[in-house]
């Protein structure tokens, strides 16, 4: 009896954890919430690479370290974009937010990829030209996150 109760408790716990980890997007508010979190996460990655670039320009980091930081952010940015775009918006209302956020996440991820290429090539000119674009993308995404928040 006790072991059956323990088994039920265990099963309930596993279900709770699984439900807590991830789930399908079924409501508009869930899309908005996910959009806000994804945008915030992308802002974090963009500003991280910007700090790395600044460190590089100020001769406070070596190339290899900046490369590692940008590569880590590139992986994270790609994951953030893929995770968000894999969601299914349930209505037209949430689809417009979904489209807008997807577009900006995609552009941001592309910027980080371009930066990684430039850092690996030690292309200082390209890095300098990408830096303001990254700063602007981060600011735009930050505003978007506030706008789409549920």
Q: Which is nearer to other proteins, 68 or 95 (CB)?
A: 68
Q: What part of residues 12-71 is at the interface with other proteins (CB under 8 A)? A: 13, 16-17, 20-21, 37, 40-41, 43-44, 47-48, 51-52, 54-55, 58-62, 64-65, 67-69
How far apart are the C-alpha atoms of 89 and 70, rounded to whole Å?
31
- Cα angle vertex 56, ends 54, 61, to 5°? 120
- The distance of Cα 100 from the centroid of its chain, to the nearest Å, equals 14
Would you give the distance in Å from CA 98 to the centre of its chain?
14
State in angstroms the smallest separation of the CB of 17 from other proteins.
6
Q: Which is nearer to other proteins, 61 or 130 (CB)?
A: 61
Residues that bind other proteins (CB under 8 A): 13, 16-17, 20-21, 37, 40-41, 43-44, 47-48, 51-52, 54-55, 58-62, 64-65, 67-69, 72, 76, 142
């Amino acid at each position: 009896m006790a072991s059956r109760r323990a088994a039920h408790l265990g099963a309930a716990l596993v279900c709770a954890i699984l439900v807590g980890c991830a789930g399908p997007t079924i409501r508009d508010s869930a899309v908005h919430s996910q959009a806000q979190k994804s945008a915030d996460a992308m802002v974090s990655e963009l500003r991280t690479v910007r700090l790395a670039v600044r460190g590089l320009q100020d001769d406070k980091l070596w190339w290899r370290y900046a490369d590692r930081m940008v590569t880590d952010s590139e992986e994270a940015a790609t994951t953030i974009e893929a995770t968000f775009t894999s969601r299914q918006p349930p209505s037209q209302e949430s689809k417009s937010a979904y489209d807008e956020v997807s577009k900006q996440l995609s552009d941001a991820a592309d910027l980080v990829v371009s930066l990684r290429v430039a850092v690996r090539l030690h292309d200082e000119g390209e890095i300098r030209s990408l830096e303001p674009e990254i700063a602007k993308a981060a600011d735009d995404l930050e505003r978007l996150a506030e706008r789409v928040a549920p």
